[in-house]
Amino acid sequence: MQSIRFAARYLSYYLKAVDEHSLHSPLIYDLYHNVIQNELLNPYYASIENERDFLLAIDQAIELNDLGAGTSNAVLKSRKISDIARKSIAPAKKSRLLHRLINYCKPNTVLELGTCLGINTLYLALEETISEVYTFEGCHNTATVAKNLWQKFDFASKINLVEGNIDNTLLHLISELKQIDFAFMDANHTYEATMEYFEAIEEKVHHQSMVVIDDIHWSSGMQKAWKEIKQRDSVFLSIDLFHVGIILFKPLYIKQHYILEF
């Protein structure tokens, strides 16, 4: 039943999505044509994807402290690293999109809510403009795999891992930050958690900030959160790419929402 509902959500998106030929706003056209759809070449891409392949080949099992969607308490379970990599790491297409958005925004401070095995973190940390990436992970064993992965890259020194339940750690860290330039939300995929995390981040964004929310159509709860986030007073522009949603806070004459092919 869940797969049928997800397919129905995708069909709805597919029928509404447009490409660059339907875009009249210079801002949106530039963002879509030159960033979202324009593949960059980066010498680190191949190295990061080699690490993805390495993770996909590891049959070793680790014990997970699962604090994800639908869990009010930690659930311990054992899974192979290869299974985690296959089912939980974002595909390369989405990872490269994150890097292109970072390249476009030129942020200093980046938040990643949901480290997993650390592949996306590497894409987020690539740009020279970034001074700090704060990434949140609730499972110690998963975090250990990610830290070992980052040590292979010379830009890993700017990655700051925050371990523990994000419901407890996020607010504390945000209170210590002057501002948030870019945030990727990929943690607890529930309506309540998504709204709580966004509202916390919203307190420290500015007109040049960008927030990317993962899996906005993953469930009815995530769709509800996406709909409400688009309507918030601070949000002037939202872009629905189905698997992710992009939020901008740059003041415009009117709110604008786009559903774009990706």
pLDDT at 73 over 90: no
Flag whether pLDDT at 85 surpasses 50.
Answer: yes
Check if the beta carbon of residue 217 is closer than 8 Å to that of residue 10: yes
Q: Which residues of 134-161 are buried (b: 16+ CB within 10 A; e: fewer)?
A: bbbbbbebbbebbbebbeebeebeebeb
pLDDT of residue 71 exceeding 50, the answer is: no
How confident is the model at residue 6, as a pLDDT? 86
| Residues, the chain | 262
Alpha-helix residue ranges (DSSP H) falling in the chain:
2-16, 26-31, 43-56, 81-88, 92-105, 119-125, 140-150, 166-176, 191-202, 220-230
21 DSSP 8-state letter:
G
Residue 154, pLDDT above cutoff 50: yes
pLDDT class of 70 with cuts at 50, 70, 90: very low
Mean pLDDT score, 28-40: 92
Structure tokens at 148: 């070992």
- Closest to 205 (Cα-Cα) out of 190, 183, 228: 183
Q: Is the pLDDT of residue 262 over 90?
A: yes
Is residue 35 within 8 A of residue 101, CB to CB? The reply is yes
Strand-strand pairing, 61-66 and 75-80: antiparallel
Q: Are 55 and 81 in contact (CB under 8 A)?
A: yes
Counting runs of H as helices and runs of E as strands, what totals does the chain give? 10, 10
Percent of the chain past pLDDT 90, that is, above it, reads: 78
Q: How confident is the model at residue 135 (pLDDT cuts 50, 70, 90)?
A: very high
> What is this structure's pTM?
0.93
Average pLDDT of every residue of the chain = 92
Q: Report the pLDDT averaged over residues 166-191.
A: 96
Q: What percent of the chain has pLDDT over 70?
A: 95
